[in-house]
Amino acid sequence: MGQPGIMEKLEILADAAKYDASCASSGTAKRNSSGGKGIGSTEGMGICHAYAPDGRCISLLKVLLTNHCIFDCHYCINRKSSNVRRARFTPQEVADLTLTFYRRNYIEGLFLSSGIIKSSNHTMEQMVETARILREDHDFRGYIHLKTIPEADPDLVHQAGLYADRVSINVELPTDAGLTRLAPDKNARQIEGAMGGMKMAIRQARDEKKRFKHAPRFAPAGQSTQMIVGADAATDADIVGRASRLYDGFRLRRVYYSAFSPIPDASAVLPLKRPPLVREHRLYQSDWLMRFYGFEAQEVMQATEADGNLPLDIDPKLAWALKFRERFPVDVNRSSREMLLRVPGLGVKAVNQIIAARRHRTLRLEDVAKLTVSVAKVRAFIVTADWRPTLLTDRADLRTLLAPKSEQLELFAA
Amino acid sequence: MTSLSHVRLGTYFVVHMPRSDDFAFWRDRARQLVQCDVPPDRVAWVEPGGNASLFSHGDRRAPIPDDPDRPVRASRRFVALAKNAALHSDPERFALLYSLLWRLQSQPRLLEDKADSEVRRLEELDKAVRRDSHKMHAFVRFRMVEDESGGSEHYVAWFEPDHHIVRANAGFFVRRFANMNWSILTPRGTLHWDGEIVREGPPAQKSDAPQGDPAEDLWRKYYASIFNPARLKIGAMLKEMPRKYWKNMPETSLIPELVAGAQNREAQMVEAGTLEFEERPETLQAIDKAIHACRKCPIGELDNQAVMGEGPNDAALMIVGEQPGDQEDQAGRPFVGPAGQVLDAHMERAGIDRRNTYVTNAVKHFKYVQRGKRRLHQSPTAKEIDVCRWWQEAERAIVKPKVILALGASAARGMLGKTVSISKVRGEPIALDDGSELWVTAHPSYLLRLDGAAKEEQERLFAADLAAVKERVEELTA
Ligand code: SF4
């Protein structure tokens, strides 16, 4: 068998990367290519250059350096004992591909991950080398996200942070027991150790930047992580709890959730059908509640049902409101911003607009209707100048009334 | 205060915009009109190519304010919104902006009233323009052409914006592609960058743009491969990438095929999934029956029969071997061949009663290669052990042994899901998820292959492991 060509390698190594959920290319330092020799810019907001039929945004060239791996994690299609086609890029090949795509405005940059070849250090060296070629040989000023190998030498991981905008270290599974069972070669303490090291390095670089203008940038877009959902028995409450500890403990920018996908050649230790994609969606919504709506992890957990999982038929904010009906209705003309943010169906923007508008007029239901997508959902929880939800919040069938009629999210609606 | 004699009753002022996106011009005129107290319903704004004859009775001269320094109020926020909204293709936009500017003179905080219909319209226009700009940043696709001499590369794109956004977005592409020569061609005008300045040109046609670029094949390959067919969400894709953009993006031609293929693949996976992930059998008899029909791995396809574990269904000790051999396969029972005899002898010496022990294998079928008449034993692969683990776990779930003794690395892998080195782990229990403890020792067939001092040494170790296990079982059952 000859060496596969670039086209074939790209097919294999992009395919192997598709289970990774993170795609964001935002939140980094502003840069552009004026005055340089190469290309690239970042303007704060990342750009999705295309969308795949799975609804996910394509903003980066997301590939693996190689899908060979000496590890044997059961949920992973690249594990040692899996029967997939294998391929391997050189750092130069990945750099060239990135530039070819970037020049045509297909992408914002590169997201490079890798199976572990030879050793963790060897693999990490190759990834760092790819970023070095882009930054130093080609003066590339676009976005680079490197997935680091927690087992690698901290010095190498540190170098990755010097070239990359963002680094990620995947915790993989929400519980240590799940990790032990499904990723026998990995070690929760090592992963958290690497995250802790990264947190320190990012903070230190930020402090130095304040004092010396020319201090080197270090992962300006911070670090993120990913958890696989539905591959083990962890509940949404477990997952939300873990995510919030990670946010607090390691100052993560984002926790991504990836619904466990049935992978070809699945290991028998995963006797599971795939979890419904809605579950992943509900977890992202709960993440939003914590990041933008002032919910505590504890409160999101209160929204879960007896089995510890968030309901699938309604969003977590509505689930919370239905459990705590005594906190409603909320008077849109008087209530605090915090309480308005708790109203199901009112987003951050709508709340801001309500607060601005009520300085000028006393809001009626029709005014609120102009500011929200669905007043039908909102009105059960609010009071306006001309509206009060008489006992509506006490109705036992409120949930059925408000739950979206079950057209599934996954239907082929093209 | 209305002192301007030239604002005649019943006439319009007609303002001809020199360019559709000339905000500065609008701003100057609007300021003059406000200074002259011309109410919004007395001004008509006409774009290039717009129909001015409707306003044939209007006054085309700019009104001259008495006091050109009279302040006109407009918040910074209004100017920013208006500047962007002015790029919208709605022919009413300049009139709307003027009306708002007019009202701002008496209601300085008007913009905060989000329920006001003109304020809302302004925000809608602004949003549409921002979205169109954003799509331009995202969906412009350059194609590379080499100039005749083959020297420098030129990158050319064709894009069809909805609004008058081309000029306003030149800066984005200049900053991003500062060291590339590029052109963006659109039906509303063109931009050309040579590394130093942006030149603007007249509207272009699609046929002016180059037709293809070899990199597009690579890009399409990437697009097809990064998509996960197990999670089709067409609605989400269409929301962000509406069909109107598709025709100028090389990758979108693949979408129908990818969607159709995904439905098939998903159906296959679900089918394969139900085969593989059926309910776990709840009795040993049911497992016995199921493994005879099992074809989860290629070993099941060989000419052999499944060999079920044997022993009491509440045994405190479970002994797990690698897989049945030739003789076990023929007898349909575990550990009856030469290795089984070694095991029996050692168990007897250690005082472990085989009748109280559940004896089974990590892999349920005999794997071999045929050499003439002989069937030569072959070790199962890690993958095969992992697949067969399904059955071994089902047995464990029923028998619930307190102690498990794994014979050899394959058996240990069946329990742990990873390969361990026997010399490292023997002699110490390993806690398993279900609360039982695992001991690992060598496989008795290993003892058969040794002789001399090495054999003695290994026999001694094996005996010691069995003795330790016996002691542990007694402790745990006492
Ligand atoms: S060896 Fe195990 S997995 Fe393979 S066919 Fe037999 S019972 Fe099934």
Task: With 0.80 as the threshold, say if the pTM is over it.
Answer: no
The two three-digit tokens of residue A338, written as one number: 């915090």
For the packed helices B338-350 and B452-477, what is the interaxial angle rounded to 10 degrees? 60
Q: In this model, does residue B7 exceed pLDDT 60? A: no
* Domain presence at residue A413: no
- Percent of the residues in chain A that have a pLDDT greater than 90, as a whole number: 21
More confident residue, B174 or B247: B174
Task: Tell me which residue has its CA closest to atom 5 in ligand 1.
Answer: B300
Query: B 211-240 residues with CB below 8 A of A?
Result: 213, 215, 217-219, 221-238, 240
Q: Is the pLDDT of residue B181 over 70?
A: yes
CB contact under 8 A, A50 and B249: yes
CB contact under 8 A, B218 and A55: no
Distance B296 CA to ligand 1 centre (A): 6
Type of residue numbered B239: K
The secondary structure of residue A137, as a DSSP letter, is I
Closest of A387, A287, A293 to residue A349, by C-alpha: A293
Give the helix/strand (H/E) hosting A12: helix A6-15
CB distance A268–B389 less than 8 Å? yes
| Closest CB to A49 among B112, B138, B235 | B138
Residues of B in contact with A62 (CB under 8 A): 226
pLDDT, one tens digit per residue, over A119-159 is 889 999 999 999 999 999 999 999 999 998 888 888 898 89
Q: Which of A:75-114 have CB within 8 Å of B?
A: 80-83, 97, 100-101, 103-106
Q: What is the average pLDDT across B340-361?
A: 94
Chain A interface test: which of B177, B228, B274, B413 (most A C-beta within 10 Å)? B228
Nearest to A352 by CA among A340, A364, A363, A342: A340
| Pairwise CB contact (< 8 Å): B233 & A58 | no
One domain for residues A239 and A357: no
B385 lines ligand 1 (CB under 6 A): no
Report whether B110 contacts B116 (CB < 8 A).
yes
CA–centroid distance, B329 to ligand 1, in Å, is 13
| pLDDT tens digit sequence for B269-282 | 555 544 444 567 88
In this predicted structure, the answer to whether residue B29 has a pLDDT above a threshold of 60 is yes
Partner A, chain B 427-456, Cβ-Cβ below 8 Å: 433
What percentage of chain B has pLDDT greater than the value 90?
Answer: 54
> For A284-291, which contacts have Cβ atoms below 8 Å and span 24 or more sequence positions?
A284/A257, A285/A315, A285/A316, A285/A317, A286/A236, A286/A240, A286/A310, A286/A316, A287/A243, A287/A255, A287/A257, A289/A316, A289/A317, A289/A320, A290/A240, A290/A243, A290/A244, A290/A247
Q: Do A34 and B174 touch (CB under 8 A)?
A: yes
pLDDT at residue number B151: 67
Mean pLDDT of B305-311: 93
Q: Is B297 within 8 Å of B276 (Cβ atoms)?
A: no
- For residue A1, pLDDT over 50 is answered with no
pLDDT band per the 50, 70, 90 thresholds, residue B373: confident
Beta strands in B312-380 (DSSP E): 317-321, 357-361, 368-371, 374-377
Q: How far is CA B294 from CA A253, B213, B311, B337, in A?
A: 47, 51, 22, 24
Residues in chain B: 478
Give the pLDDT confidence of B87-128 residue by residue, as tens digits: 999 999 999 999 999 999 999 889 888 788 999 999 999 999
Distance of residue A126 Cα from the nearest chain B Cα, in angstroms: 22
DSSP class of B427: T
- pLDDT tops 60 at residue A410: no
Question: Whole-number mean pLDDT of chain A?
Answer: 83
A361 to B381: CB separation less than 8 angstroms, yes or no:
no
- Whether residue A60 lies inside any domain: the answer is yes
* Cα(B292) to centroid(ligand 1), Å: 9
Confidence bin at B4 (pLDDT 50/70/90): very low
List B residues 138-157 in contact with A (Cβ-Cβ < 8 A): 138-144, 155, 157
* Mean predicted lDDT score pLDDT of chain B: 88
Q: How confident is the model at residue A270 (pLDDT cuts 50, 70, 90)?
A: low
Q: What angle, rounded to 10 degrees, do the helices at A154-163 and A120-132 form?
A: 20
pLDDT score of A390: 72
Residue A294 included in any domain: no
3-state SS, residue A176: helix
| pLDDT > 60? residue B65 | yes
Instruction: List the 360-389 stretch of B: residues with Cβ below 8 A of A.
Output: 381-383, 386-389
Please indicate whether, in this complex, the C-beta atoms of A106 and B219 are within 8 angstroms of each other: yes
Note whether A246 and A336 are same-domain residues: no
Residues 6+ apart with CB under 8 A from A175: A232, A234, A238, A242
Alpha helices in B105-214 (DSSP H): 117-139, 170-176
Q: What is the arithmetic mean of pLDDT over B70-87? A: 93
Does the beta carbon of B294 sit less than 6 angstroms from any atom of ligand 1? yes
pLDDT band at B202 (very low <50, low <70, confident <90, very high): very high
* A41 class by beta-carbon count within 10 Å (0-12 exposed, 13-18 middle, 19+ buried): buried
**B243 shares contact with chain A (CB less than 8 Å):** no
Residue A408 in any domain: the answer is: no
Q: Encode pLDDT of A196-252 as tens digits.
A: 888 888 888 888 878 877 777 888 888 888 888 877 778 888 889 888 888 888 888
Give the start-end residues of each E strand in A30-120: 50-51, 57-58, 60-64, 109-113
Cα–Cα distance between B279 and A272 in angstroms, integer?
Answer: 10
Domain membership flag for residue A380: yes
| Dist CA A328 CA A381 (whole Å) | 6
> Which ipTM did the prediction report?
0.80
How many angstroms away from the CA of B277 is the closest CA of chain A? 5
Do both A332 and A220 map to the same domain?
Answer: no
Q: Do both A160 and A24 map to the same domain?
A: yes
Q: Within this chain, do residues A240 and A330 fall inside the same structural domain, yes or no?
A: no
- Which of A41-55, B118-132, B172-186 is predicted least confidently? A41-55
Place of tokens 């809608």: B124
Q: Which of A63-77, B155-169, B219-233 has the highest mean pLDDT?
A: B155-169
Is pLDDT at A394 greater than 80 in this prediction? no
CB spacing of A43 vs B172 below 8 angstroms: yes
* Strand-pair category, B143-146 with B153-158: antiparallel
What CATH code is carried by the domain that includes residue A42? 3.20.20.70
Give the model confidence (pLDDT) of A324-350 as tens digits.
888 888 999 999 999 999 998 888 888
Instruction: List, as ranges, residues 215-254 from A with C-beta within 8 Å of B.
Output: none
Domain ranges of chain B: 2-134, 140-208, 215-272, 284-477
Measured from the CB, is residue B362 less than 6 Å from ligand 1?
Answer: no
Out of B219, B231, B381, name the one closest to residue A277 (CB).
Answer: B231
Identify the top-confidence range among A48-57, B91-100, B375-384, B430-439: B91-100
B63: nearest Cα among B14, B106, B17, B111? B14
Q: How far is CA A312 from each of CA A280, A401, A408, rounded to the nearest angstrom?
A: 10, 15, 11
- Residues of A whose CB is below 8 A from B234: 53, 55, 412-414
Instruction: State the pLDDT at residue B411.
Output: 93
Confidence of residue B234 (pLDDT cuts 50, 70, 90): confident
A225 and A108 together in one domain: yes
A57 and chain B in contact, CB less than 8 A = yes
Cβ of residue B306 lying under 6 Å from some atom of ligand 1: yes
Identify whether residues A262 and A337 lie together within a single domain.
no
The type of residue at A408 is Q
Query: Is ligand 1 within 6 A of the CB of residue B308?
Result: no
**What number of other Cβ atoms are within 10 A of residue B169's Cβ?**
20
Judge if the upstream peptide bond of residue A404 is cis by omega within 30 degrees of 0: no
Q: Which residue from A53, A262, A359 is facing B227, i.e. has the nearest CB?
A: A53
CATH number for the segment(s) B284-477:
3.40.470.10
Measure the CA–CA gap between B294 and A179, rounded to whole angstroms.
29
- CA B401, CA B439: separation in Å to the nearest integer? 12
Band (B310; pLDDT cuts 50, 70, 90): very high
Residue bearing the bigger pLDDT, A403 or B400: B400
**Residue A76: exposure state from Cβ atoms within 10 A (0-12, 13-18, ≥19):** buried
- CB contact under 8 Å between B233 and A55, yes or no, is yes
Position with higher pLDDT, A264 vs B346: B346
Q: Does the CB of A349 have a partner CB in chain B at under 8 Å?
A: no
**Which residues 6+ apart lie within 8 Å of A262 measured at CB?**
A273, A274, B230, B269, B273
**DSSP result, B64-110:** --S-TT------HHHHHHHHHHTTS--TTHHHHHHHHHHHHTT-TTG
Q: Which residue has the higher pLDDT, A103 or B290?
A: A103
A257 φ, ψ (degrees, to nearest 5): -115, 135
Q: Do A269 and B386 touch (CB under 8 A)?
A: yes
Which residue has its alpha carbon closest to ligand 1 atom 2?
B388
A7 to chain B: nearest residue by CA? B218
- Most confident range (mean pLDDT) of B109-113, B391-395, B467-471 is B467-471
Rg (CA), chain A: 24
For residue B381, give the nearest of A50, A61, A81 by CB distance: A81
Residues of A in contact with B143 (CB under 8 A): 104
Q: Give the per-residue pLDDT at B235.
A: 84
Would the pLDDT of A68 be above 70?
yes
Encoded tokens for A320? 């919370």
Whether A154 is covered by a domain: the verdict is yes
Strand B374-377 and strand A166-168: pairing?
Answer: unpaired
Tokens of B410: 């394959």
Contacts of A49 in chain B (CB under 8 A): 138-139
Identify whether A410 is part of a domain. Answer: no
> SS3 of A43, please?
coil
Our answer on whether the CB atom of B204 is closer than 6 Å to any ligand 1 atom is: no
Q: Is the CB of B289 under 6 A from ligand 1?
A: no
Is residue A235 one of the residues assigned to a domain? yes
pLDDT exceeds 60 at position B2:
no
Q: Do A154 and A70 reside in the same domain of the chain?
A: yes
pLDDT digits (tens, 9 = 90+) for A162-197: 999 998 888 778 887 777 777 777 788 888 888 888
Answer whether A104 sits within 8 Å of B219, measured CB to CB: yes
Q: Are residues A154 and A219 in the same domain?
A: yes
Residue-level pLDDT at B260: 81
**A37 touches B at CB < 8 Å:** yes
Arithmetic mean of pLDDT, B367-389: 87
Domain that holds residue A48: 6-275
Q: What is the pLDDT of residue A412?
A: 32
pLDDT of B166 reads 96
Query: How many CA atoms, within 13 angstroms, populate the side-chain half-sphere of residue B56?
Result: 2
- Count structural domains, chain A: 2
Of B177, B225, B236, the CB nearest to A11: B225
Q: What is the distance between the alpha carbons of residues B240 and B242, in angstroms, rounded to a whole number?
A: 6
> Is the model more confident about B325 or about A178?
B325
